[in-house]
Amino acid sequence: MNPQLVYLVQTETTVGFLSQNREKLSTSKQRNKNQPFITCVDSFTMLKKFTRVPKRFKNIVRRSKKTTFIYPKGKAFRVINDSIHLKFIKKLKWAYSSSANLTLKKFEENCAKQKADIIVENSRGFFESTPSSIIMINSKKARRLR
């Protein structure tokens, strides 16, 4: 797998674009290149390579499902638990992730397929469900954003 390509993939909650190439992903989404992305990782070992989880929240992060955490330095990470999506992420180890729609627009399958370099469709097909939770944590407190 080429980590520089943009993949159209069914994530745990929605259809998403994934890539290790931040610029190419921003171009596909037609969004500001400075806007941050969520980074999806395949394991807690990989998460430790990117950020330090505050000791107080280690159990919460480990046990959470479909949850993105924004860490003290402002970076957002999600450890993938969904077995089907995890098979894809394990090949890359980590990837920037974003919903497969143009900025501030609804998901359109044809448009998303045109923007992606490679389409990865599994047995579930493409669908949108409840968005993931987003929790901002620092060394002392946690605050739910979504």
Q: Indicate whether 47 belongs to any domain.
A: yes
pLDDT for position 90: 94
Q: Indicate whether 71 belongs to any domain.
A: yes
User: Based on the structure, what is the number of domains in the chain?
Assistant: 1
Q: Indicate whether 2 belongs to any domain.
A: no
Q: Indicate whether 122 belongs to any domain.
A: yes
Q: Going by C-beta distance under 8 Å and a sequence separation of 6 or more, which residues neighbour residue 118?
A: 5, 6, 7, 8
Answer whether 93's CB lies under 8 Å from 49's CB: no
Instruction: Give the chain's end-to-end CA distance (angstroms, integer).
Output: 32
pTM, rounded to two decimals: 0.88
Q: Which domain holds residue 125?
A: 7-144
Q: Indicate whether 84 belongs to any domain.
A: yes
Distance of CA 41 to the CA centre of its chain: 8
Q: Indicate whether 1 belongs to any domain.
A: no
Q: Indicate whether 93 belongs to any domain.
A: yes
Domain harbouring 16, CATH code: 3.90.870.10
Each residue's pLDDT tens digit, 32-89 = 888 899 999 999 999 999 999 999 999 999 999 899 999 988 899 999 988 888 999 9
